[in-house]
Chains A and B, each alone.
Chain A
Amino acid sequence: MSVATTLPGCDAPQAQSAAKPVLRERGQREVFCGLTGIVWLHRKMQDAFFLVVGSRTCAHLLQSAAGVMIFAEPRFATAIMEERDLAGMVDAQDELDRVVTRLLERRPDIKTLFLVGSCPSEVIKLDLAKAAERLGAQYMPRVRILNYSGSGIETTFTQGEDACLAALVPVMPAEAEAAPKQLLMVGALPDIVEDQFLRLLGQLGIEHVGVLPARNARDLPPVGPNTRYILAQPFLSDTAMALEGRGATRINALFPFGAEGTSDWLRAIGREFGIDSAHVEAVIAPGRERAARAIEHSKAALQGKRVTFLPDSQLEVPLARFLHTELGMDPVEVGTPYLHASHCADEVALLPETTRISEGQHVDNQLDRVRSDKPDLIVCGLGLANPLEAEGFTTKWAIELVFSPIHGFDQAGDLAELFARPMRRRDRLEV
Chain B
Amino acid sequence: MQLSVWTYEGPPHVGAMRIATAMKGLHYVLHAPQGDTYADLLFTMIERRNHRPPVTYTTFEARDLGKDTAQLFQDAAMDAIERFKPEAIIVGASCTAELIQDDPGGLIEAMDLPCPAIPLELPSYQRKENWGAAETFYQILRHLADKSVSPGPREGRKARANILGPTALGFRHRDDLIEVRKILEQLDVEVNLVAPLNARPSDIARIGNADFNIVLYPEIADEAARWLERTFNQPRIRSIPFGVSATRAFISEVAELVGADPTPALGDTSSRLPWWSRSVDSTYLTGKRVFIFGDATHAVAAARIARDELGFEVCGLGCYNREFARDVREAAKDHGIEPLITDDHLEVEDAIGKAAPEMVLGTQMERHIAKRLGIPCAVISSPVHVQDFPARHSPQMGFEGANVIFDTWVHPLVMGLEEHLLTMFREDFEFSDEAGPSHHAAHAPNTAHKAPVMEEEVIPEPEVTELDSPAWTQEASKELKKIPFFVRGKAKRNTEAFAAEFGRGEIDLDTLYDAKAHYAR
Contact = CB atoms under 8 A, between A and B. Distances in A.
Interface of A: 2-5, 27-36, 53, 55-57, 59-61, 63-65, 70-71, 74, 76-83, 85-86, 92, 95-96, 98-99, 102-103, 119-120, 122-124, 151-154, 156, 364, 381-387, 389-390
B388 interface: no
A189 B372 CA distance: 30
A82 B2 contact: yes
Given A96-B1, A119-B35, A27 B59 contact: yes
A357 B65 CA distance: 28
B136 interface: no
10 contacts: A31-B34, A55-B11, A56-B9, A57-B96, A81-B125, A86-B99, A92-B1, A120-B95, A122-B62, A124-B99
B430 to A, nearest CB: 30
A91 B100 CA distance: 20
Contacts of B45: 382, 386
A385 B14 CA distance: 20
A99 B3 CA distance: 7
Nearest to B346: A106
A388 to B, nearest CB: 9
B125 A33 contact: no
Interface in B368-384: 368, 372
B11 A64 contact: no
Interface in B80-100: 83, 94-96, 99-100
A82 B1 CA distance: 6
Given A2-B61, A27-B59, A154-B61, A63 B6 contact: yes
Given A32-B35, A120-B96, A383 B59 contact: no
A58 to B, nearest CB: 8
A177 B372 CA distance: 52
A64 B41 contact: yes
B485 interface: no
A85 B1 contact: yes
Interface stretch (B47-55, B213-221, B298-306, B509-517): B47-55
B126 interface: yes
Most B CB atoms within 10 A — which of A83, A119, A364?
A119
Given A30-B37, A71-B368, A364-B79, 15 more contacts: A2-B63, A28-B37, A31-B37, A32-B38, A56-B128, A57-B10, A57-B11, A63-B6, A85-B125, A153-B62, A384-B44, A386-B49, A387-B49, A387-B50, A390-B50
Interface in B6-52: 6-7, 9-11, 13-14, 33-42, 44-45, 48-52
A336 B48 CA distance: 26
Contacts of A103: 3
A5 to B, nearest CB: 8
10 smallest beta-carbon distances between A and B, as pairs: A33-B35, A152-B35, A390-B50, A383-B40, A119-B96, A55-B95, A71-B368, A152-B34, A152-B33, A79-B1
Contacts of B42: 64
Contacts of A383: 37-38, 40-41, 44, 52
B33 A153 contact: yes
A61 B125 CA distance: 16
B37 A70 contact: no
Interface of B: 1-7, 9-11, 13-14, 33-42, 44-45, 48-52, 56-65, 76, 79, 83, 94-96, 99-100, 123-126, 128, 365, 368, 372
B35 A31 contact: yes
B310 to A, nearest CB: 28
Contacts of A56: 7, 9-11, 95, 124, 128
A79 B372 CA distance: 25
B99 A123 contact: yes
Contacts of B50: 386-387, 389-390
Nearest to A3: B61
Nearest to B367: A71
A152 B58 CA distance: 12
Contacts of B33: 33, 119, 151-153
Given A32-B35, A32-B38, A61-B35, A55 B124 contact: yes
Most A CB atoms within 10 A — which of B1, B9, B64?
B1
A251 B86 CA distance: 53
Contacts of A387: 44, 49-52
Contact of B4 (A59, A92, A98): A59
Nearest to B2: A80
Contacts of B11: 55-57, 60
A400 to B, nearest CB: 13
Contacts of B63: 2, 4-5
A430 B56 CA distance: 36
Nearest to B60: A153
B40 A95 contact: no
A102 B35 contact: no
Given A77-B4, A80-B1, A153-B96, A60 B37 contact: no
Contacts of A102: 3
A33 B35 CA distance: 4
A385 B79 CA distance: 23
Contacts of A99: 1, 3
A32 B94 CA distance: 15
A335 B56 CA distance: 20
A86 B98 CA distance: 11
Contacts of A120: 95-96, 99
Given A65-B38, A120-B95, A123-B96, A29 B59 contact: yes
A70 B34 contact: no
B96 A55 contact: yes
Given A386-B48, A387-B52, A57 B36 contact: yes
Given A55-B11, A152-B36, A387-B50, A70 B6 contact: yes
A49 B109 CA distance: 46
Nearest to B64: A153
A371 to B, nearest CB: 13
A246 B123 CA distance: 45
Contacts of A382: 40-41, 44-45
Nearest to A102: B3
B106 to A, nearest CB: 19
A76 B126 contact: no
Given A29-B34, A152-B35, A60 B56 contact: no
A55 B38 CA distance: 14
Contacts of A156: 34-35
B62 A77 contact: no
B95 A30 contact: no
Nearest to B55: A28
A245 B137 CA distance: 54
A186 B44 CA distance: 34
A337 to B, nearest CB: 9
Contacts of A124: 99
Contacts of B57: 28-29
Nearest to B96: A119
Given A2-B61, A83-B125, A387-B52, A29 B96 contact: no
Contact of A123 (B4, B35, B48, B65): B65
Contacts of B9: 56
Nearest to B30: A28
Contacts of B99: 86, 120, 123-124
A5 B62 CA distance: 12
Contacts of B10: 56-57, 60
Contacts of A30: 37, 40
A76 B4 CA distance: 9
A155 B136 CA distance: 30
A31 B36 CA distance: 8
Contacts of A154: 61-62
A53 B1 contact: yes
B7 A59 contact: yes
Most B CB atoms within 10 A — which of A57, A85, A154?
A57
Contact of A153 (B34, B37, B39, B126): B34
